[in-house]
Amino acid sequence: MDLKIHLETWKEKAGDLLAKISYRKTEKIEKIRKTTKEEEPKEKIPAKPSDRKKVIEELEMLLNSFPGNPKFLGKIVKHRKGWMDLIFNTGDFNRLKSIRVSVSRFAEKNPKEMSRRQIIEHQRKWKDLEVKLSRALHRHDHIIDLHALYALHLYAETKLYRQVEVRLPLLKRALKKMANALRNESLCLFNVIWFIEIYCDYLETLKQRILLYLKAGTKLDDRQVQQITLKLRQQVLLIEVFLTIKDRLDGIMMLNRKLRDSAYSTEGISLSEIRRASHAIKNGEEKASVGDGKTANFSIAVIVIIALLFARIPILKFLVRDIVGAISEGNRNLKLQKRMILTADYIHEYEQAVAEENILKKREHAEHIYKYCQKTIKHYWQNASLVKPYEIDPFMKLAWITLESNGLLDVTSFRMKLEQAEIFLDVVISQPKQKQDTIQYAKQLLFKVNALLSEYQ
């Protein structure tokens, strides 16, 4: 695929992809809470252990398995590139490509759909591949992509087992290993998409395991057990919030199809390439090369879409901040894209506060988002036309968080914010070059704003 030839077509489609991620409605957490409380574990609940200490240890293990912040990943292992990297990269790309194809094929297969004979053959080939991958890692430990493939290989192993208690620790290892590869700047679409699949599978498995032990734990008349189970119930609600990322994958999947044969598919975008790309754009050199097969504008478009997804994954918060920090601020468009990523991060924190039913945190996060969007509009709008998703984003998010603030503020303050939201939504709707789906969403928000204004007259 010649990226330069299709540049103009891509720029328009990249905007559509960003819009799909940025403007999808946030799910109602109250509905999630109700669903979570009614959900029953699918597996048979184990008998109540007679040993209280064993029960508490199991519950605390589940408590510590929650991926709620970057501490979950532990210490990030940095893999430094050296002279061996040159030997590997110039001498045997085909070997790495062959391993990648083999590992991804194994990860895509579902043993549940195989016969017993097919499963035995699958396990044999899986072990052969493990030997091949281990040898490659032993010789080239500094090759970050090999660590990512090893994580994917671990994920493929989890599909060989049905027991939740066996799958959970394997998934945890795979998740940490892949996250470590991403933190080492192996930010290619292949790794990102597989990371999200592993992450979602881990969350689903953890939720299932927690629900199993919640029933067993609540039967024990013990104060410490009851305290832990309360925390675990809250974690189940947060897991449901984290899993909403599955509803925001249209953009990244479409991007992966468009760039399947490009450098962005399997070669990571490094922080230094992001810096070079943003610097080139700042100087008006959007088509400048920042790496083998990578141009400045494509690199920024891809990394912004990735960062918008990662902003909804708490364990990658530091990586998101690293990406935002690598994007230069010498250009209005770049500044707006950085602020759009940070706004997505703040909104996810707000959603967590809603799930936790923490009114003080909810009010604090809502106010912060409102002021942040207001500041973005004040400093960067300058009465310019609103065409790109990142130009419209602060207007829409300000209106959305205003509606979410119903019941959090006094009547006077809330009405003032509603009036401001009404003005900003009118600005979006009045834009001549605005996309129809954006106008439709803005009108939906405006209808709700006007209804509340009538109510608070």
pLDDT mean across residues, the chain: 82
Q: Residue 64, Cβ neighbours under 10 Å: how many?
A: 9
DSSP state of 43: S
Q: What is the pLDDT of residues 46-79, one digit of tens each?
A: 445 456 778 888 888 999 999 999 999 988 776 6
Torsion from C-alpha of 108, 112, 118, 124, nearest 10 degrees: 60
Across 108-112, 259-263, 368-372, 406-410, least confident range: 108-112
- The encoded tokens of residue 302 equal 């891809």
Measured CA to CA, the distance from residue 249 to residue 20 in angstroms comes to 9
DSSP-based helix, strand, coil % in the chain, nearest 5:
75, 0, 25
The model's pTM is 0.84
Residue 401: name the closest of 382, 424, 384, 417 by CA.
Answer: 417
Q: 3-state class of 200 per DSSP?
A: helix
95 or 61: which leads in pLDDT: 61
Q: Residue 210, Cβ neighbours under 10 Å: how many?
A: 23
- The encoded tokens of residue 152 equal 């994917």
Whether the CB-CB separation of 391 and 361 falls below 8 Å is answered with no
Residue 319: per-residue pLDDT:
96
Measured CA to CA, the distance from residue 119 to residue 112 in angstroms comes to 9
Residue 359 pLDDT greater than 70, yes or no: yes
Residue 207: name the closest of 40, 369, 55 by CA.
Answer: 40
DSSP state of 249: -
355 or 12: which leads in pLDDT: 355
Whether the CB-CB separation of 220 and 299 falls below 8 Å is answered with no
Whether the CB-CB separation of 218 and 226 falls below 8 Å is answered with yes
Q: What is the pLDDT of residues 119-173, one digit of tens each?
A: 666 666 666 667 777 777 767 777 788 888 888 888 988 887 888 888 999 999 9
Tell me whether residue 215 is exposed, middle or buried, using C-beta atoms within 10 angstroms of its C-beta: 0 to 12, 13 to 18, 19 or more. Answer: middle
Question: DSSP of 72-128, one letter per residue?
Answer: GG-SPPP----HHHHHHHHH-HHHHHHHHHHHHHHHH--GGGS-HHHHHHHHHHHHH
Q: What is the pLDDT of residues 395-411, one digit of tens each?
A: 999 999 999 999 999 99
Residue 120: per-residue pLDDT:
64
Residue 311: per-residue pLDDT:
97
Whether the CB-CB separation of 110 and 159 falls below 8 Å is answered with yes
